[in-house]
Amino acid sequence: MKSTDSTIPLEKLLEHLPENYTVAERELVERAYQVAEEAHQTQKRHSGEPYIYHCVAVADILSELKVPSEVVAAGLLHDTVEDTDITLADIRRDFGDTIASLVDGVTKLTHLPRVSRGDQHAENGDNGHEEEPIAPALLGRKEDIVAETLRKTFLAMGEDVRVMFIKLADRLHNMRTLSHMPEHKRRRIAQETLDIFAPVANRLGIWQIKWELEDLGFRYVNPEKYKEIAELLTEKRPDREAQLEDIKKNLVKLLAQNNIKAEVSGRPKHIYSIYKKMQKKDKAFDMVRDVRAVRLIVPDIPSCYAALGVIHTTWRPIPGEFDDYIAAPKDNNYQSLHTAVSYDDKRPLEVQIRTQEMHLNAEYGIAAHWQYKEGSKHADKNYEKLINSLRSKMEWGSDVQDANEFVESLRSDVFQDRVYIFTPRGDIIDLPSGATPIDFAYQVHTDIGHRCRGARVNGKLVPLYQGLKTGDRVEILTAKRGGPSRDWLNPNLGLVRTQRARSKIRVWFKKQEDEQNLAQGRDILERELQRLGLSEINFEKMARELNYKTPDEMFIELGNGDLSVNKVIKQFSQHEEVEEIFEVGPSTTPTTSTNAIEVVGLKGMLTTMARCCNPMPGDPVVGFITRGRGATIHRQDCPNILQTRDRERLLQVGW
């Protein structure tokens, strides 16, 4: 982002507003400033600056993103409801529903549960607060509060993505001024920035915010390595800049000779991206530093490919370094051609080729394309797919009961590197790197995933554990009916690697078990009611009395053994006291010699015939120890015996 001054006056902010703002829109921003300034007039930041400087800085960052005036105004007001006497009703009355909704969204993010907020207030004791870490050591911790906070943060993002514009701007300014925070908080906030907010900016395509958050976060998380790379970059900067000037001149001349108009610029290197490349490719800094990078801006898409052809015929392409993100855009709608060639001095030259529109998309992402109508939340059609994709992931997260599972899904399905796979019809499916054909199948449709039995990749049968690569064309072979295999959930087999697919598979098996338990539970209850001569039972009432929402829930727990049929009967049988499920015989008279039951190793034990299955002489039987009444004799295939969890109470018996 261009402005890094933490003390931007109102006049500067008004100068930075997009040129297409109307007079009314500029007046709206100025009015929001006046309200915010008065509301925060007694509050200061940790730096000692008036709190309003932070609000103006947030609004200035938003104005650079070219967002609508309502979003800039909401940026000025984003802390008023949280930290001053102004209410949401006041905001709605003075500024309308749209701005009130945005301020409310940011306030709700601030109200999420925190691990520690004991030192949140400004040093002078006033109410202005500076952003605290949502959670320490994010994505490595498994505390419920951390996971739940993350889930709610991203669900809020799914409701209105403009709230995240404000939150990202808020976080960026807080990172720019992080040196004023107590030392023990800096690393936690910086780690959270790297783990959550920088990836969110990337997913929204806001590269300008993404790279600055990464570099600032890295500066506090790993200050030694940050300083080392920064010093090395500074040391060689004059030579590198001179080399780039020569490269740019050569490229402009070469392209002009081929009738291609192009704007050529050096592509800045960012410290965190250099560090990640060193890690990913296991390279020393010198090898990474020596890679020069340029960007070509051309008039249209045909010119992109024409420029690529000229470059590839002039210099030798480096194998494995070409990516066509025009034909297959990234998940955040990023488009460019990427290549690397061996330049005249045999050192690598990275080249990005894009149109001006693609460049704006890459710099500002969805924010640059946000069009608005009065009272609406509308992005242009090129970005509706991205918004729907993000919302679908967030809505899926709201169905996940375990918050930690949702955190894992963010890590594996949202923030990982992506691959772009083609369906047989040519549609593009976006998946995390390392995804398998089964992951692909579940991404296309849940039912296709359940019935997946094989896959062809680029026309060839492949094992289901094979990782997919960008550009692969995948055809899923399905059965007419059936479901997934439990082996798919075995992590050692590597068949499924996305959290989405794992969750869908678990849900399928739980549903199958529930259906089986439902049928068995209903059968158990109906047979017991029939045995007792009870009829015309209102199962709806029975379920409600036992605190179940539906009879099916009650039947499922009867079937899996979590609920005793005896408890159900006792609740509703007023004319008969029903005994424990296995203590069903009223008689304590020993059996006659013709029906004699012998308990192996225990002569003379009292035995009683179970009424639930009415064992007859010659039937295969088993004994169940009852409390104070010897053993109840059941048929071995009695459902009550088959489902009992008290296997240690079973006895071997015989006629």
Structural contact between residues 192 and 48, judged by C-beta atoms closer than 8 angstroms: no
At how many degrees (to 10) do helices 237-257 and 223-235 cross? 60
Q: How far apart are CA 568 and CA 562, in angstroms?
A: 12
Query: Who's near 575: CB < 8 A, 6+ residues apart?
Result: none
83 a catalytic residue: yes
Structural contact between residues 635 and 613, judged by C-beta atoms closer than 8 angstroms: yes
> Sign of the C-alpha dihedral, residues 496, 499, 501, 502?
positive
Q: Residue 407 CB: number of other CB atoms within 10 A?
A: 25
Q: Which of 60, 64, 79, 83 does the annotation list as catalytic?
A: 83
Q: How far apart are CA 145 and CA 255, in angstroms?
A: 56
Query: In the beta sheet, which residues pair with residue 621?
Result: 635
402 a catalytic residue: no
Structural contact between residues 91 and 75, judged by C-beta atoms closer than 8 angstroms: no
Query: Who's near 421: CB < 8 A, 6+ residues apart?
Result: 428, 429, 431, 435, 440, 468, 470, 471, 472, 473, 474
User: Could you tell me what percentage of the chain is helix, strand and coil, using 3-state DSSP and rounding each to the nearest 5?
Assistant: 50, 10, 35
Of 462, 403, 387, 469, the closest CA to residue 435 belongs to 469
Q: Residue 387 CB: number of other CB atoms within 10 A?
A: 17
SS (H, E, C) 490-547: CCCCCCCCCHHHHHHHHHHHHHHHHHHHHHHHHHHHHHHHHHCCCCCCCHHHHHHHCC
Q: How far apart are CA 166 and CA 75, in angstroms?
A: 6
Structural contact between residues 168 and 200, judged by C-beta atoms closer than 8 angstroms: yes
Secondary structure class of 80 (helix, strand, coil): helix
Secondary structure class of 283 (helix, strand, coil): coil
Burial letters for 165-202: b for 16+ Cβ neighbours within 10 Å, e otherwise? Answer: bbbbbbbbbbbbbbeebeeebbbbbbbbbbbbbbbbbb
Q: Which long-range contacts (CB under 8 A, 24 or more apart) does 255-263 make?
A: 255/296, 255/307, 255/310, 258/306, 258/310, 260/298, 260/303, 260/306, 260/307, 260/310, 261/298, 261/299, 261/303, 262/296, 262/297, 262/298, 262/303, 262/307, 263/296, 263/297, 263/298
Structural contact between residues 512 and 560, judged by C-beta atoms closer than 8 angstroms: no
CA atoms within 13 A on the CB side of 372: 20
Of 345, 403, 388, 408, the closest CA to residue 151 belongs to 403
First to last CA, the chain: 88
Q: Which of 82, 148, 514, 579 does the annotation list as catalytic?
A: 82
What are the backbone dihedrals phi and psi of residue 637, each rounded to the nearest 5 degrees, phi first? -95, 15
Q: Distance from CA of residue 148 to its chain's centroid?
A: 12
Active-site residue set = 82-83
